[in-house]
Amino acid sequence: MKKILPVLAVFFLLAAMLANPIVSVKAAAHGLLLWYEHILPALLPFSILSDILIHSNACFVVSEVLYVLIHPFLPCSRQGTFPVAAGFLFGFPMGSRICAQMVCSGQLDASEADCLFPFCNNISPIFIISFIVHDTLGNDGLLAVTLLCLYIPAWLVGYCLLRSQHASEKKIPAAGLKINFSIIDAGIMNSFEMMCKLGGYIMLFSIITELIQTLCPGSMAVLGLAAPLEITNGITLLQSSALNPRMKYAGILALTAFGGLCSMAQTYSMVYPAGLSMKKYIRIRLLLACVSGICAYLLYPFF
């Protein structure tokens, strides 16, 4: 039965696309445009540079500096500071990708990576500041509380996870630095492959979201079914819904902390070569969604 359901879902999606070709084409174009204009330029440079740092072993040098800044607040190893910093600063899915890469290259212990990637695989501050706070909410006064509601719960969860496995942490020796054009070329190609995967997932989930809106026009079922699928479209749907401003804000932050089902699929494509636990990741993201949503609901009247 578990194998039949995905096949039926694919056939149902294909039938819906054939029945609504104009809607499907427009949704695919919208998803690809979103990927091209926002995701590709924002993530590709960071992805190439991080790939070069990892495979040249230069990430060990960066980690030595980051360790001094991060370790007093988060009990991770020296190697673990690099994916933590990248995950919080560069944005999703860099946290999960770097964890998986470092595990596969023997630079990070798998048990620590299992604790790191669920909480450091976050939406970037640039996306939060520009798209959520400024463009969608239209209230820059909510910036501070928004960042606190999203990042403080993630930090607390990460602290607890790392403390629970700290005793079994393994010290991994740093390797010598090496840099050449083969590493640079590989970093570029690997990063473009990752970006193509992200673009494909965004396109597919944009089609599904648009089809749900077409099949259920003006229905509250759209919020329940379509909003959790893809974060950008979901935030727009929540903001344009009939919910009161307080509920909209709580829902937007909960969805941002969760990441959406599209992000789950993208994350799985990043981490499955390293064998990291997606079940643990989903549980933690659901927990973060609940905590961020509740904090946003309680704090909204004060800002």
Tally of structural domains, the chain: 1
Residue 249 confidence class, pLDDT cut points 50, 70, 90: very high
Within-domain flag for 234? yes
Sign of CA pseudo-dihedral 253, 162, 124, 223: negative
Return the minimum-mean-pLDDT range out of 46-60, 173-187, 254-268.
Answer: 173-187
Convert the pLDDT of each residue in 152-174 to its tens digit.
999 998 888 888 775 444 555 55
Q: What average pLDDT does the segment 8-25 reach?
A: 85
Convert the pLDDT of each residue in 236-248 to its tens digit.
888 888 888 999 9
Q: What average pLDDT does the segment 262-276 reach?
A: 87
pLDDT at residue number 169: 47
Within-domain flag for 138? yes
Of residues 232 and 298, more confidently modeled: 298
Convert the pLDDT of each residue in 91-111 to its tens digit.
788 888 888 888 888 888 888
Tokens at 189, concatenated: 């190609």
HSE (CB half, 13 Å, CA atoms) of 277?
A: 16
Within-domain flag for 14? no
Tokens at 291, concatenated: 């905590």
> CA 210, CA 212: separation in Å to the nearest integer?
5
Within-domain flag for 25? no
Within-domain flag for 24? no
Smallest CA-to-CA distance from 232 within 46, 28, 39 is with 39
Within-domain flag for 159? yes
Range of the domain at 140: 44-165+179-302
Within-domain flag for 131? yes
Within-domain flag for 158? yes
